Structure 1
Amino acid sequence: MMNSILKVTNLVKRYNGGTLALKDINLEVKKGEFIAVIGPSGAGKSTLLRSINRLIEPTEGSIEFLDQRIEKANKSELRKIRSKMGMIFQHYNLIYRSSVLENVLHGRLGYMGSVAGVFNRYKEEDKQEAIMLLEKVGLEAEIYKRADELSGGQKQRVGVCRALAQNPELILADEPIASLDPKSSAVVMDAIYKNCKEQGIACLVNLHQVDVAKRYATRIVAVKAGTIVFDGQASELTEEMIEYLYEGKEQEMYESAN
């Protein structure tokens, strides 16, 4: 796969009960691309991202990442694959009783032996790297606070730093700004975008908001009813396509705060 780090071929996800969440998805991601996946709620965006790293088991199709077949990987192989694939969650997925620094360092667990991981024996260079990442996103004053003391936007920036601490080739960001106000959303998106660009990390980010997708993405993939209906540059995304995509759910295009 020339320059490609991820190739999804004929991906299908059918849930128990017969609900077809993804229908024959084909997607290729090149190194350093920043791709926004847009579409209304229930379109299949989260299922797509979670199938890629097998938080959800795909039903059919193949997922190839750095020349490894994810859907065929055993537990040990999957752990190694996920160490190069960072994940940012909508609801942060932090350990709230732990410090901000410790939460970021959890991004290094995939590279540690089981004993070192259990006892949180992080290398000094990992700690310094984590502190540097937190400083870059403006959290230098919060490093030793418990994660539950932070605002939503701060928690999400910790989640961004945790994903970056993995030194990944790909970041999957699943609705990272859906729970945030507009100001916090901009700070979080800037943190994801700038760090990915600086480090040459590819990113697949799920978004409702079309304007945010157009602002950041080098490429937009639109999903409706489990099918990709558009894949191209932001400038090629027409008003007609946006209207078709969000038909009946137009308000979701502009939602940036709960």
Structure 2
Amino acid sequence: MQSSTPDLVAPGWDSHVHVFDAQAPVAGGHYRPAHRPLADIEQLAQSHGFGHLVLVQPSVYGTDNTVLLDALRAGGGRHRGVVVLPPSVDDAALQAMHALGVRGVRFNLVSPVGDSLKAGEGQGARDSFQALAPRLRALGWHVQWYAAPQDLPVIAALHAASPVPAVLDHLAGLHAGVAAGDPAWQALEQLAAQGACVKLSGWYRLGAQAPYEALDGAIRKVAGLFGRRLVWGSDWPHTAFAPDALPAYASTWEPVARTLAAVQARCAREQAPSALYA
């Protein structure tokens, strides 16, 4: 896998992208992704001022992180990664991934081939979290959750008991239909108090259409809770869309520019991710 690393790297961070190799095996019964190599997103992101990427393991590859790790090698230390791991992973493997730039482990509670917080379902996210959390904390890693609003109270309780940092994908799932009195907001306040971060990403996964104005209120409310602990991500290559109908890259930044003060928006693209993925 080749990288197109330019001589001058733009300072911004795109904190949520995926890379795909059309030849890599995929989880049974899941979709087959189009070929989306690292060089493609490097060039696109760099042209918009984002020279650093956070590569997130997609559910289609399960716990086989080969494509992601190969991309980190190709990036020459410029990028970071968030992987999916079984609790049986050994310390040598963790150290090797850390050296490549991995800084977190993802639990996907939304994908049909992902994890579950319910006893007896899926891969047992509770047990996996409890087994991995102390080891991740020792490495300085975090746990990244792709979750629905109703999952947030359980996630808050897990992190209260095992204080490894939390990162919440895609506005913590808080779509425009989540009422102001929903328990998810109280859980989100608890997670904010625990030092969690939220990704400003995946707007179209929250039932919104470009320019995503239906989410402006939720974005502002989340931003009020999390302050400087917000990071932006494009969610490229937008697997919810057909390969020939992808959203414009810049359109995924527009809600941030529209709803956040300039200093907070700049923090979400530079200082906050630089600190989180150091």
Q: Report the TM-score, using the length of structure 2 for normalisation.
A: 0.39
Normalized per residue, the structure richer in strand is 1
Higher relative contact order (CA 8 A, sep 6+): 1
